[in-house]
Amino acid sequence: MWTIAKIAWRNIWRNKLRSFAVFASVALGLWAGIFATSLANGLNEQRISNVIDNQLSHFQIHAPGFRDNFEINKVITNTESIQQKLDSNPKVKAYTTRTMVSGMVSSASSSKGVQIKGIIPENENAVVNLEKFMVEGEYFGKAGRTPSIILGKTLADKLNVKVRKKLILKFQDGNNEVIAAAFKVKGLYKTVDTRNDEMTVFIEQPKLNELLGFSDEVHEVAILLNDINNIETISPDLKAAFPNLLVESWKEVFPGLDTADQLQEQTSMLLLYIIMLALCFGILNTMLMVVLERVREFGMLMAVGMNKLKVFFMVMFETIFLMLTATPVGLAMAWLTVWYFSKFGLDFSGQSEGFESMGIDPIVYPVLTYDYYPKVIMLVVAAAILSAIYPAIRAVRLNPAESIRKL
Amino acid sequence: MKEIISIQNLEKIYNPTKVAVHALRGVNLSVNEGEFAAIVGPSGSGKSTFLNLIGGLDNPTSGKVIIGGNDISKLSANQLIEFRLQHIGFVFQAYNLIPVLTSKENVEFIMLMQNRSIKEREERAISLLKAVGLEKEIDRRPVELSGGQQQRVAVARALASKPDFVLADEPTANLDSKSAENLLDIMERLNQEEGITFLFSTHDARVVKRARRVVTLEDGLIASDESRS
Ligand SMILES: Nc1ncnc2c1ncn2[C@@H]1O[C@H](COP(=O)(O)OP(=O)(O)OP(=O)(O)O)[C@@H](O)[C@H]1O
Ligand SMILES: [Mg+2]
């Protein structure tokens, strides 16, 4: 077998151009597959962490049933005791409370349906860092006689309002009374999630509570942990601490995000499978050519007494060697590109419209875990075997007398 | 003299279903140990077909090929490959060697398939290459050898397995006359000094001249069989 392998190895170098073509296609295919996968992974992780950082936080607390249809009366009442418990928990980095109601926002020219969130500006900042996203005007601060409102840049454009202009908010309170109040645009924000920007406006919580007739009731507590990896361990404690409330981690609040994550992993593997399958056909074709070209040689070998098993393995080895020599190159190229761009990011700002509407930052940092590489190598060997079987069978089936006749 | 090849009523029809070609029409022949015999005849007379059947590279339509007392037409495909490996040495007109192996490795390869020890392989390969006058070309690959040298490596390779006899289908066809004479010298010497049996086909009158037995095929039948001393 050793000699068979040696012959197979030397055979690779007989037709350098052809071997190089196979070599290049395997290396490039691997590189493209792996890099695309890492980009997709990176995009996905960014999308998830964006949603977590900017919207979901790590945990959310609501009154049971509130999230079903955001009924204004399903409130969290004992806010102060919640705050005490959270303040004393060392794993909690920050938290914020929100009151929310859906309503209409109207400018002189048009109106839009929105979700109105009453927030404590500095707490909100500590949890989702809203201030970071301000693009015009300022983030609350001292209000004049008219209370302040913060809204998305895209929404402001649609409503045709600018900073310091007035807007009317209209909504129903808990008794189905319609309430309207005027607000002055204090600032405009813009996150990567433009769809969400268009649907959410922020005002100060005391003002909203006053309009709704609440005292210290809120609808939502959003909690940020020191370490996202503590979610699973802290979850039972939090749930036990607030038995009458619904405590949910981001995965529970938005299960789709987590499933999308798993789906993403499978899709990116699928991409690699498809690339490998395409490579298989190319290599099968090449090896078939090799076998046909060497009909006389195989005929001679079988004539002088080389058995079919050895002939089979000779073709097999040649294919595997051919692909495996290209593999380290493809992997190294992929590793380098992934490493480089995970440091410096890959800028897709040219296409940023599409990215932002998906809630993704246009600079992508590819992500690839190391356990991916051995999987790829196994895939290459499998692909080599798969594409070598048919040519090897063709070689074995040759009739020595006829092969030699083809002189 | 011991009989090593016995051919009985050998028939070969190619394409029996379509346009049948009657390549051999009942050939009988007996070859003894130590012979140096040439198969001659016009093109298409069935020389290659005959040698292929004797070498177990193809199956006869009817008749028997008995080598050393074994009827090889009764062997399975795999048994036949093994039989060829152990009992028959082959020299073809061309493409005898594995291009990526050196002369020595080519000669060793056949012994490797016979599972001989490394020591035996090395020693025998070197002594055989010496015997065919190629001690300097031991580490060269086929492309670095002339056609005549390649054929001499092929002869060394054919002998390496210690076969009962060597079959050679037009071994000199691709050689100039000097190389052809040289190859014949070597084959003749191996025949006389080592007693190796050679059975070869040829078109070349100079090669025929050197044979001690000349079997002439015509249209799939033996037209004459002359021995000379
Ligand atoms: N595989 C095959 N299929 C069909 N016909 C064949 C096949 N091999 C040989 N023949 C035919 O059988 C006959 C004998 O061919 P063979 O090759 O044995 O002759 P030969 O004496 O070796 O000729 P040459 O001197 O040209 O080598 C020819 O008519 C040839 O066309
Ligand atoms: Mg012939």
Tell me the C-alpha distance between B172 and B162, whole Å: 22
Check residue A174 and give its pLDDT. 81
Confidence of residue B155 (pLDDT cuts 50, 70, 90): very high
* pTM, full prediction: 0.76
- Ligand 1 within 6 A of CB of B173: no
Q: What is the DSSP string of A186-217?
A: EEEE--S-HHHHTTEEEEEHHHHHHHHT-SS-
Supply φ then ψ for residue A13, to 5 degrees.
-90, 5
Q: pLDDT tens, B99-133?
A: 999 999 999 999 999 999 999 999 999 999 999 99
Contact partners, residue B148, CB within 8 Å, separation at least 6: B175, B176, B178, B179, B180, B182, B183
Closest CA to B128 of B198, B189, B200, B197: B189
B23: CA distance to ligand 1 center in Å?
7
- Ligand 1 within 6 A of CB of B221: no
- The answer to whether the CB atoms of B84 and A307 lie below 8 A apart is no
- Ligand 1 within 6 A of CB of B12: no
**Cβ–Cβ pairs < 8 A, chains A and B:** 67
Closest CA to A14 of B199, B51, B99: B99
Chain A interface, Cβ < 8 Å to B: 3, 7, 10-11, 13-14, 296-297, 300-308, 310, 399-402, 404-405, 407
Out of B47, B172, B207, B221, mutate this one to test ligand 1's pocket (max ligand atoms within 8 Å of CB): namely B47
B183: CA distance to ligand 1 center in Å?
25
Supply φ then ψ for residue A284, to 5 degrees.
-55, -45
- Residue A230 DSSP label: G
Q: Is A98 helix (H, G, I), strand (E, B) or coil?
A: strand
B131: CA distance to ligand 2 center in Å?
28
On whether the CB atoms of residues B68 and B4 are closer than 8 A, the answer is: yes
Tell me the C-alpha distance between B149 and B155, whole Å: 10
Across chain B, mean pLDDT equals: 92
Closest CA to B151 of B213, B192, B83, B207: B207
Tell me the C-alpha distance between A140 and A192, whole Å: 21
Tell me the C-alpha distance between B27 and B12, whole Å: 10
Q: pLDDT tens, A342-374?
A: 888 887 776 656 666 555 667 788 888 777 888
> Per-residue pLDDT averaged across B37-61, rounded?
93
Contact partners, residue A249, CB within 8 Å, separation at least 6: A58, A59, A231, A235
Tell me the C-alpha distance between A134 and A138, whole Å: 7
- Residue A76 DSSP label: B
Q: How would you class A123 by CB atoms within 10 Å of its CB: exposed for 0-12, middle for 13-18, buried for 19 or more?
A: middle
Take residue A64 and report the two structure tokens written for it: 């049971």
Residues of chain B contacting A302 with CB distance shorter than 8 Å: 81
- Ligand 1 within 6 A of CB of B54: no
CA distances from A126 to A16, A372, B64 (A): 62, 36, 97
- The answer to whether the CB atoms of A297 and B99 lie below 8 A apart is yes
> Does residue B192 register a pLDDT over 80?
yes
> Does residue B194 register a pLDDT over 60?
yes
- The answer to whether the CB atoms of A404 and B98 lie below 8 A apart is no
B192: CA distance to ligand 2 center in Å?
26
Check residue A392 and give its pLDDT. 94
Closest-approach residue (CA) in chain B for A400 = B57
- Ligand 1 within 6 A of CB of A402: yes
Tell me the C-alpha distance between A21 and A248, whole Å: 54
Check residue A48 and give its pLDDT. 80
| Domains recognised in chain B with CATH numbers | 36-45+77-227 (3.40.50.300)
- Ligand 1 within 6 A of CB of B216: no
Distance from CA of A283 to the nearest CA of B (A): 21
Q: Smallest Cβ distance to B92: which of A7, A13, A300?
A: A300
Residues of chain A contacting B78 with CB distance shorter than 8 Å: 307-308
Q: Is A180 helix (H, G, I), strand (E, B) or coil?
A: strand
Check residue A407 and give its pLDDT. 47
Check residue A359 and give its pLDDT. 57
CA distances from B60 to A51, A318, A358, A401, B63 (A): 78, 35, 74, 12, 7
Q: Tell which atom from ligand 1 comes closest to the C-alpha of B220.
A: 14
Instruction: Give the per-residue SS3 of chain B.
Output: CCEEEEEEEEEEEECCCCCCEEEEEEEEEEEECCCEEEEECCCCCCHHHHHHHHCCCCCCCEEEEEECCEEHHHCCHHHHHHHHHHHEEEECCCCCCCCCCCHHHHHHHHHHHCCCCHHHHHHHHHHHHHHCCCHHHCCCCHHHCCHHHHHHHHHHHHHHCCCCEEEEECCCCCCCHHHHHHHHHHHHHHHHHHCCEEEEECCCHHHHHHCCEEEEEECCEEEEEEECC
Take residue A240 and report the two structure tokens written for it: 């036990």
User: Which amino acid makes up residue A395?
Assistant: A
Q: Is A56 helix (H, G, I), strand (E, B) or coil?
A: helix
- Residue A249 DSSP label: E
> Per-residue pLDDT averaged across B45-62, rounded?
93
Looking at the DSSP assignment, which residues form a beta bridge with residue B218?
Answer: B221
Tell me the C-alpha distance between A121 and A149, whole Å: 11
Tell me the C-alpha distance between A304 and B110, whole Å: 8
- The residue among A142 and B56 whose pLDDT is bigger is B56
Torsion of CA B181, B187, B193, B199, to 10 degrees: -130
- Ligand 1 within 6 A of CB of B47: yes
Q: pLDDT tens, B67-84?
A: 999 999 889 988 999 999
Q: Which ligand sits closest to the CA of B204? A: 1
Q: Smallest Cβ distance to A296: which of B55, B95, B114?
A: B95
Check residue A399 and give its pLDDT. 87
Tell me the C-alpha distance between B185 and B207, whole Å: 10
- Ligand 1 within 6 A of CB of B202: no
Take residue A313 and report the two structure tokens written for it: 């393995």
B66 touches chain A (CB under 8 A): no
Where chain A has pLDDT below 70, the residues are 143, 350-361, 406-407
B47 touches chain A (CB under 8 A): no
- Residue A218 DSSP label: B
Check residue A353 and give its pLDDT. 61
On whether the CB atoms of residues B87 and B69 are closer than 8 A, the answer is: no
- Output the residue whose Cα is nearest ligand 1's atom 3: B14
B47: CA distance to ligand 2 center in Å?
5
**Complex prediction ipTM:** 0.91
For tokens 């400018």, the residue is A107
Tell me the C-alpha distance between B164 and B83, whole Å: 11
Take residue A128 and report the two structure tokens written for it: 């989702």
- Ligand 1 within 6 A of CB of B15: yes
Distance from CA of A296 to the nearest CA of B (A): 7
Residues of chain B contacting A310 with CB distance shorter than 8 Å: 113
Sign of CA dihedral B77, B27, B221, A300: positive
Quote the distance between the C-alpha of residue B222 and its chain's center.
19
- The answer to whether the CB atoms of A305 and B82 lie below 8 A apart is yes
Q: Which ligand sits closest to the CA of B41? A: 1
Q: What is the DSSP string of A128-162?
A: H-GGGGEEEE-SS-S--SSPEEEEEHHHHHHHT--
Domain definitions of chain A by residue range: 2-52+258-405, 64-244
Q: How would you class A239 by CB atoms within 10 Å of its CB: exposed for 0-12, middle for 13-18, buried for 19 or more?
A: middle
